[in-house]
Structure 1
Amino acid sequence: MELTTATTALAALGNPTRLSIFRLLVEAGPDGRSPGDIAAALSLPGATLSFHLKELSQAGLIGGQAQGRRITYRADFEAMNGLIEFLTRNCCGGDAGRCAPPKR
């Protein structure tokens, strides 16, 4: 992932509503969720949800798939993992063991 792509993705996730939508789609896994389900789960009006889905989609973090008249949105796990890899690349001078969270 390039700096520009990472910056766009992070900017999209920097909004609390978009972060909540993205996390909800990550939790849903490959099955994704319909806009109605997302709106109900997060108590969002349709117009607000549409705006945020568009922003996440343009950032490459989610995708929508039409199935007849129904659309299912899914997190783009490849993009998510690419962002995580970008953020942790060369972590702790290349010694990833030093960056690991403490064991509980």
Structure 2
Amino acid sequence: METNQAIAALTALGHATRLAAFRLLVEAGPGGRMAGEIGEALGVPGATLSFHLKELVQAGLIGSESQGRNVCYRARFDAMNALLAYLTHNCCAGSDGDDCAPGAAPPRGC
């Protein structure tokens, strides 16, 4: 992942509604969720939700598929994993990496 792509993804996730929608889609797995279900779960009006989902699509974090009159949204797990890899690239360089594992206690030092 390039720096500009990471910035776009982080910017998109930097809004509470978009972050909540993305997390819902990650939770839904590969099957995704219909736009109406997302709006209902988040308590967000359709027009507002469309704006936020469009931002996540443009950032490459989710994809959409028309199914008749409805739209199904799915998390792009490849993009999510690429963002995580970008953020953790060279994590704790020079150490065995155990201090960097998710949930690890902060290393002693500075």
TM-score class, shorter: over 0.9
Farther-moved stretch of structure 1 (8-17 vs 91-100):
91-100
Farther-moved stretch of structure 1 (46-55 vs 89-98):
89-98
Looking at structure 2, the residues matched to 78 and 29 of structure 1 have their Cα atoms a distance apart, in angstroms, of 12
Determine what percentage of the aligned residue pairs are the same residue: 62
Amino acid at match of 2:8: T
Normalised to the residue count of structure 1, the TM-score between the two structures is 0.94
Greater C-alpha radius of gyration: 2
Looking at structure 1, the residues matched to 86 and 56 of structure 2 have their Cα atoms a distance apart, in angstroms, of 18
Amino acid at match of 1:102: A
Give unpaired runs (5+ residues) of structure 1. Answer: none
Counterpart in the other structure of 1:89: 89
What are the equivalent positions in structure 2 for 1:52-63 lying under 5 Å apart? 52-63=52-63
Give unpaired runs (5+ residues) of structure 2. Answer: 106-110
Farther-moved stretch of structure 1 (64-73 vs 41-50):
64-73
What are the equivalent positions in structure 2 for 1:29-48 lying under 5 Å apart? 29-48=29-48
The count of corresponding residues between Structure 1 and Structure 2 is: 103
Give the superposed CA RMSD.
Answer: 1.3
Pairwise CA distance, 1:102: 2.9
What's the CA shift string for 1:29-88, capped at 9, x where partnerless?
001000100000000000100000000000000000112222110000000000000000
